[in-house]
Structure 1
């Protein structure tokens, strides 16, 4: 049962991160990005990778919190 709950959180977060990656980088060139006034030192593929995992982490937290809010008090106390 636990594996099914974990999959119900991780899989939608993964799909959302994929969608965000496509939407963001359809309009943003990774070589034009700057961090603290300096151009990023990563390759395009590096920027895509870091951004994907950042998107995945944020959507994973959001999915986890949504799943936590859906639990009943009895499930939380077990």
Structure 2
């Protein structure tokens, strides 16, 4: 298409695109915060998946303690406690993975500000 094409608008008719003002700049997370987020968020999601899988097969009303007596708790309480237990266990596994991934020279760096 050329500038003489009648389908093209003239410069006066074209509304110029102007970039919007940038939103408030969010400072980047520190390394420990990024590691915490990298552990806790996937653990949260997988705890939800594990909760669905377990309680699609297990009825919380029919749970028994190791001694044989029935668990006398509301179903929602069992779901809640189980979710948090799953979340903690999965988060611990992810945290151990994060610990294993730390470079040895970072772990073995001498602490110089001890005086």
The TM-score normalised by the length of structure 1 is: 0.93
Show the counterpart of 1:41: 72
Highest Rg: 1 or 2? 2
More strand by share: 1
1:8-47 to structure 2, matched below 5 A, reads 8-35=38-65, 36-47=67-78
More helix by share: 1
How many pairs does the alignment contain?
Answer: 78
Structure 2: unaligned runs, 5 residues or longer: 1-30, 110-115
Structure 1: unaligned runs, 5 residues or longer: none
For residue 16 of structure 1, report the CA deviation from its aligned partner.
1.0
How big is the alpha-carbon RMSD for the aligned residues of Structure 1 and Structure 2? 1.0
